[in-house]
């Protein structure tokens, strides 16, 4: 009797699974685009890549993969490179190939750096410090002036920018300002 009950339960379970499979098949059949009422209303344009996107894709294929470091790793590598460069400089100074740099004097540190000389003649040492400060400032301004473009170079750069090929890509920033009455916004335009 128990075997018959188990057999009927098994048959009922099999029949239920078959009807469920038939229902799923029917759902899949009716879920196709052929049975959709809204499919004809939709348009699916073919995506077209811009020349800039094509160029970027080709460049991405051509270049080897880069190793991206985390911020902490970049900082550690920079620190190690700077330490190595400093160590090489110190080795050159120890070997006598390069003279050691003169101490960087400021008005706040020259008493400690110069020691006895500063105590014996503070006015003279202060004048020396001021000369060094002025020399550093002049060297800085000279480097800036050397880097500055001449009038001809500036005009050539401007002409090059105007003549450069913008068919590949153009980067533009567009802003919408509701109220131009504020002087800040007028100055930006």
pLDDT in tens, 129-182: 999 999 999 999 999 999 999 999 999 999 998 888 877 778 888 888 888 898
What is the 3-state composition of the chain as percent helix, strand, coil, each rounded to the nearest 5? 65, 0, 35
d(CA 161, CA 154): 11
| Whole-number pLDDT of residue 95 | 93
| Whole-number pLDDT of residue 180 | 87
d(CA 154, CA 148): 9
> Residue ranges of the chain with pLDDT lower than 50?
none
| Whole-number pLDDT of residue 2 | 64
> Pick from 108, 153, 100, 103: which is nearest to 126 by CA?
108
Helix runs in the chain, H state only: 2-30, 51-62, 71-95, 110-114, 116-120, 122-147, 151-163, 183-188
| Whole-number pLDDT of residue 91 | 95
Cα 84 to Cα 12, 72, 78: the distances in Å are 80, 18, 10
């Amino acid at each position: 009797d128990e075997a018959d009950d188990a057999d009927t339960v098994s048959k009922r379970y099999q029949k239920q699974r078959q009807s469920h499979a038939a229902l799923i098949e029917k759902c899949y059949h009716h879920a196709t685009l052929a049975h959709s009422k809204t499919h004809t209303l939709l348009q699916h344009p073919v995506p077209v890549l811009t020349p800039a996107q094509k160029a970027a894709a080709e460049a991405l294929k051509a270049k080897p993969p880069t190793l991206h470091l985390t911020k902490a790793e970049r900082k550690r590598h920079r620190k190690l490179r700077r330490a190595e460069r400093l160590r090489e400089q110190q080795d050159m100074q120890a070997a006598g190939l390069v003279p050691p740099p003169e101490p960087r004097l400021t008005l706040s540190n020259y008493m400690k750096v110069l020691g006895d000389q500063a105590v014996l003649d503070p006015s003279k040492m202060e004048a020396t410090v001021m000369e060094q400060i002025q020399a550093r400032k002049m060297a800085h301004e000279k480097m800036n002036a050397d880097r500055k473009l001449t009038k001809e170079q500036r005009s050539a750069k401007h002409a090059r920018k105007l003549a450069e090929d913008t068919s590949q890509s153009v980067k533009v920033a567009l802003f919408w300002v509701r109220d131009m009455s504020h002087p800040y916004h007028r100055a930006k335009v």
